[in-house]
Amino acid sequence: MSAPAAPEPRRPRLNPFAFPSDTAFRFGLLVVAVLGANLYVWQWIASTTRSADEHTQGALACLDLVPQGTDAFSRCVSELYRYQVSWMLGGTAALAVASTLVLLAFPWWIARRRKLVPLAAEDAPAAVERIHALADEQGVRRPELLWNPLDPSPSGLAFGRPGRYAVAVGGGLVVKQATDPSAFDAVVRHELAHLRNRDVGITYLTLATWYAFLAVAVLPFAVTLLTDSRNPFLGVTWRLLALALLVYLTRNAVLRSREVYADVRASSADGPGGALQRVLAALPAAPRDLIARVRSVHPDPAERLAAVEDTRPLFPLGAAAAFAAGLSSTIAYESVVQLLSTYVDEPLDLRLLAALAYAPLAIGVVGVAIWREAFAAHADGREPASPWHDGLAFAAGLLLGPDLALAGVVIGQDTLLRNLGSAAGLAWAAGLVAGVVLLLAWIRTSASWWVRALGGRHPIAAGAIGLVVATGALASFMGIFYGLRSVPEALSFSRAGSEAQHAAVDAQVWAVPRPVWQFVMDGQLLVIVQKPVFVPVLALLALFPFAAMLIRRRPEQAFWAWLDPGGELRTPRLTLRPLLPLALGVAVGLSYLLAIVAVRFGVHAGASAETRATDAAILSFFVGTLALALVFAFAAGALGALRGGLIGAIAAAFVAGCFGWLGIVGGPMLGGCVDPLSLNPGPCAWTVPAAFSWDVFQQVVAEGAIAGLAGGLVALGVQALVRRRRAEALQPAGAAP
Amino acid sequence: MSAAANDDLVAGLARAAVERAAPEELPLFRATSEAYFADPDALAQQKPRDEMLGFGVEAAAMLVTPVALQVARDVIGFLQEQLRERAREHGEGAIDRLIARIVGTDGKEEQAAEPVPELTDEQLEQVRALAVEKARSLRLSEERAELLADSLVGSLATA
């Protein structure tokens, strides 16, 4: 007879508290979404204070200014609606005051509803003393203690407001202190963990904001709706319900995740012999039906037990949370745009500034989770999970948000989702999805490289910098994306302008094909790439991951990474191989310089001095060399992608673009010094104005990045195809595996 | 009988039951009974809630004392009803004397002077059934509900 197998020892648990929690960001997004909805409501209310005649007269007066130029017209319109800003800010202040009052009232209301009374030492001396000892052990300030002697459950509750937290216990739990001290400790540690994890303040702040919104915004809103001639009641009602559902479901989902974190925190002090697992196992199973489960603020005890046993499932984000983050980011985005529109005229700047209200929180949710997952994956010696699922879910949320926005009652005819049926709409949506997925892929690779480079040191500083860069990228992307969508006529105008320019030049001298010309000289694209934030963000995107190479450290023990003793990181060291795309970028860039020399020589030899001196020839040469730089950037991107994925593509293209800039703006000096390379006579000195030089740099680098990304995608696609063909050749269809 | 006197009777019977069924709860009996008598209906409002930042929903109540107080209150009411008829035969003070004996506040001399009606087996069984049903409705586990009912009946039978 064989002896029974010994139970498998528990793997040391990874420390989920080593990373910032996404709770604050998820609740923060909800608060900002509610604030945005509040802005819209007060703008609406403000609009009802003026009659339709007043609006019409004001608009007509502005139209009279059209002959003075678009700036004068825009200023007039901004001033016409500026009175709404004071209403919107007043509504925000009212919401803040009401939220504060609700927040302060919450503890009183909970104590009243649960019939809680102070738990004095003379009521239950041993229990009180033990709770104080456990608070000291957990490193939290001793909370106010309350109890309901008639509450028979052996449970507790953490509540309160920032600065004054309380723990309430039932009579059943107090008795447990005598009958089952370890179970008492486990439950109290769980409640204290909520305080330590800072769940209480942020939970009640979010709820207070929501209830205050209902009182301060929805009630007066409803009154104005009833008297509104546009009859928007139905449209507003279902959108408000959608917002309420988002707040409710997100709140519950976050609370469920916080329960697990509280269990894990409690289990650390509870130790392997503690009673937490026994107490959790005794809890009744969660209801099976979906409605009851999403309404629940506690996960199924089996899930809680599993998380206490192994914390690894806590590290990834999950598609549902990513979707909610995307939805929260755009559900009230348009309201912030409306607020800022009276001060900012330029559509891209306007959208970018509005995006800054949401991007840090959205990145806080998805970006932190990606860094966490990268750390956890490498710690176990595996590759971080693909960002596809979370990226698609996040993008889906971004897509759906504008359709659920209150602002959609009036301006909801042209949302991405509604236009999905058309080819243009599909292209816009695909652009959004691609941008978001690429950004998340960038975060994943950056996190992976930095975690590996740090060799067991805490990646908090690198993560913070990386997430700031990602925030800038997301805000820029949202600003550009929604900005361009808001001015479709400008895109058409821009296309028509570059087409006319090409036709004029092509009539006089040779010019690159029209589609290439239009890409290089597209007016709207030039406006975008010459925004002050665009190139710095692009440079950081290209170079931040590679900066990890500069600080490569030897692996060392990382005690901070584990909850249990005996943990050992299996994180692979970062090799220098990822630097290859940068080297490829240099090689391609040098090739471009040689090509430019050849082109200059050819043009000098092939065209007469008179022809070369015409404006058309100079412009055609400029566009041609720019286009050539983009071809090299495309090639650099393709090569970089084969060695370093899409990050390699962007980095290689960025480096090649820098050489491209040098080739273009250094050309006149080169021609001045070496006559056979000159386009027109000039001095052997750097005479290109700095402003023009900077504009060219931005154009080459930004358009080069787009070309490089395209090259990278093509190269990766071809590579995948070739690998598949090879696999099929080695394993003919129908053959046994 | 005054309300205060009735509360004393309920507390006495409940305490006797708790001494048998859950002696570990005796240190909390005073605080619990004070809270109960301050708002007797509050116990019925105690429902398991899935509270935000709580520990989780418990399937069954763990505390016997509040349930014992509520059950004792119902039992006292039931006894008063049942004995009303017999009180006419033995005199108006019989109920008070019987219940006072249960809670241990009676004097030996009084016992000798006035006959006290005894509870029949059938009535004790009725009390037990009532106690079990009430305890179950207040989410006490089956085992504890039985124990509490037995303790209550024991207190009444041996009084």
* Partner residue opposite A157 with nearest CB, options B24, B46, B54: B54
Q: State the nearest Cα–Cα gap between B54 and chain A, in angstroms.
A: 4
- Rounded distance, CA A215 to CA A308, Å? 40
Q: State the nearest Cα–Cα gap between B28 and chain A, in angstroms.
A: 7
In single-letter form, the type of residue at position A648 comes to G
Residues 6+ apart with CB under 8 A from A723: none
* Partner residue opposite A150 with nearest CB, options B32, B56, B140: B32
* Partner residue opposite A150 with nearest CB, options B46, B59, B62: B46
Return the residue of A nearest to B69 by Cα. Answer: A150
Return the residue of A nearest to B140 by Cα. Answer: A152
For residue B119, give both structure tokens. Answer: 């509870």
Residues A73 and A66 sit within 8 Å (Cβ to Cβ): yes
- Ranges of residues in chain A with a pLDDT under 50 are 1, 737
Using a CB-CB cut-off of 8 Å, the residues of chain A touching B55 are 155-157, 187, 190-191
Q: State the nearest Cα–Cα gap between B24 and chain A, in angstroms.
A: 7
| φ, ψ of residue A16 in degrees (nearest 5) | -70, -15
Convert A641-679 to b/e letters by CB count within 10 Å (16 or more is b). bbbbbbbbbbbbbbbbbbbbbbbbbbbbbbbbeeeebbb
For residue A228, give both structure tokens. Answer: 């509104």
Smallest Cα–Cα separation from A560: which of A449, A454, A464? A454
What is the CB-side half-sphere exposure of residue A178 using CA atoms within 13 A?
16
* Partner residue opposite A149 with nearest CB, options B35, B51, B140: B35
Question: B46 at the A interface (CB within 8 A)?
Answer: yes
Return the residue of B nearest to A198 by Cα. Answer: B53
Instruction: Provide the percentage of residues in chain A whose pLDDT is more than 70.
Output: 96
Using a CB-CB cut-off of 8 Å, the residues of chain A touching B25 are 175
- Angle at Cα A36 formed by Cα A31 and Cα A37, nearest 5°? 100
Candidate from A174-188, A254-268, B40-54, B68-82 with smallest mean pLDDT: B40-54
Contact flag B28-A203 (C-beta cutoff 8 Å): no
Give the sheet arrangement for strand A164-170, strand by strand.
Answer: A117-118, A144-148, A164-170, A156-161
- Crossing angle of the two packed helices A23-47 and A199-213, in degrees rounded to 10: 20
Using a CB-CB cut-off of 8 Å, the residues of chain B touching A157 are 51, 53-55
Interface test with B, best of A150, A189, A191, A254 (most B CBs within 10 A): A150
Entry pTM: 0.84
Residue spans of the domains in chain B: they are: 3-157
Contact flag B51-A178 (C-beta cutoff 8 Å): no
Unique residue bearing structure tokens 């919401």 = A95
Residue spans of the domains in chain A: they are: 125-191, 334-486+531-572, 505-518+576-730
* Partner residue opposite A172 with nearest CB, options B36, B51, B62: B62
Contact flag A149-B66 (C-beta cutoff 8 Å): yes
Contact flag A150-B43 (C-beta cutoff 8 Å): yes
Contact flag B57-A283 (C-beta cutoff 8 Å): yes
Residue A609 three-state SS: helix
Q: What is the pLDDT of residues B83-132, one digit of tens each?
A: 776 666 666 666 666 666 655 555 444 444 455 556 788 888 888 998 89
- Rounded distance, CA B150 to CA B127, Å? 10
* Partner residue opposite B61 with nearest CB, options A153, A190, A298: A153
Q: What is the pLDDT of residues A645-675, one digit of tens each?
A: 888 999 999 999 999 999 999 999 999 999 9
Q: State the nearest Cα–Cα gap between A120 and chain B, in angstroms.
A: 11
Residue A672: the pLDDT is 92
Contact flag B53-A115 (C-beta cutoff 8 Å): no
Question: B27 at the A interface (CB within 8 A)?
Answer: yes
Q: What is the pLDDT of residues A232-248, one digit of tens each?
A: 677 788 888 888 888 88
Using a CB-CB cut-off of 8 Å, the residues of chain B touching A158 are 53-54
- Rounded distance, CA A435 to CA A479, Å? 12
Contact flag B59-A283 (C-beta cutoff 8 Å): yes
Radius of gyration of chain A (CA): 31
Q: What is the pLDDT of residues A280-309, one digit of tens each?
A: 988 888 777 888 888 888 889 999 999 999
Residue A677: the pLDDT is 93
Residues A117 and A148 sit within 8 Å (Cβ to Cβ): yes
Question: B139 at the A interface (CB within 8 A)?
Answer: yes
Second-level CATH architecture of A125-191:
2-Layer Sandwich (3.30)
Q: Where are the beta strands (DSSP E) in A585-687?
A: none
Using a CB-CB cut-off of 8 Å, the residues of chain B touching A203 are 52-53
Contact flag A191-B53 (C-beta cutoff 8 Å): yes
Contact flag A203-B39 (C-beta cutoff 8 Å): no
Interface test with B, best of A153, A184, A196, A293 (most B CBs within 10 A): A153
Residue A132: the pLDDT is 96
- Rounded distance, CA A565 to CA A557, Å? 11
* Partner residue opposite A171 with nearest CB, options B32, B59, B140: B32
Number of A to B CB contacts under 8 A, please give it: 116
In single-letter form, the type of residue at position A427 comes to A
Question: B24 at the A interface (CB within 8 A)?
Answer: yes
Q: What is the 3-state secondary structure (H, E, C) of A401-462?
A: HHHHCCCHHHHHHHCCCCCCCCHHHHHHHHHHHHHHHHHHHHHHHHHHHHHHHHCCCCCHHH
Residue A134 three-state SS: helix
A346: which strand partners? Answer: none
Question: B57 at the A interface (CB within 8 A)?
Answer: yes
The runs of H, that is alpha helices, within A11-148 are 23-47, 52-63, 70-80, 83-113, 125-138
* Partner residue opposite B42 with nearest CB, options A150, A175, A296: A150
Using a CB-CB cut-off of 8 Å, the residues of chain B touching A255 are 52-53
